[in-house]
Chain A
């Protein structure tokens, strides 16, 4: 274990808090929490990649950053038009 992996563990605890925030409030408020959770999970993957010193693991973070953007944008448009 090193400081990067400890930081990733702390990030997981914060991610759980954001998960709780995703469970309460109006749909658009939940979407705001989901937005932050997506960013946090990307950062956790980056910290794990740095912790185990495997540059290939950052590809996961890059994929999540792109897919998170598309997914959150789709949710926002969906909320705007149909819900």
Chain B
């Protein structure tokens, strides 16, 4: 049962990454791309962390994976904001 849940969570993470990759390939605008890049740093890391916890048990592997997921979830929005800010300032500069 635990393996089935872990497998399902891995599929969720891969689908999230697939949507992100497709969005990056389809859209060219930076702000549209950032929507997909931001989604990649929230759903897939959490899904992988829970999958490892469920599939491998609460050992060192699960704890470290959770730590990496927390780092990704916390730093992802900061990077998205920094990139959007840089893109906005460049647009403003070009319009002058």
Interface size on A, residues (CB 8 A): 45
User: By the criterion CB–CB under 8 Å, are A32 and B34 in contact?
Assistant: yes
Q: Beta-carbon contacts of B29-70 to A below 8 Å, as 1s and 0s? A: 110011011001100110010011001100111001101100
- Per the 8 Å Cβ criterion, residues 68-96 of B in contact with A are 68, 71-72, 75-76, 78-80, 82-83, 85-87, 89-90
Q: Does B5 contact A (CB under 8 A)?
A: no
Residues of A within 8 A of B36 (CB): 36
The CA-CA distance from A79 to B80 in the complex, in Å, is 14
Chain B: interface secondary structure?
helix
Residues of B within 8 A of A47 (CB): 10, 48
Closest to A31 in B: B83
B interface, size bucket: 35 or more
Q: Which of A10, A24, A28 contacts B30 (CB 8 A)?
A: A28
The CA-CA distance from A72 to B85 in the complex, in Å, is 13
Chain B residues proximal to chain A, CB less than 8 Å: 6-7, 10, 13-14, 17-18, 20-22, 24-25, 28-30, 33-34, 36-37, 40-41, 44-45, 48, 51-52, 55-56, 59-61, 64-65, 67-68, 71-72, 75-76, 78-80, 82-83, 85-87, 89-90
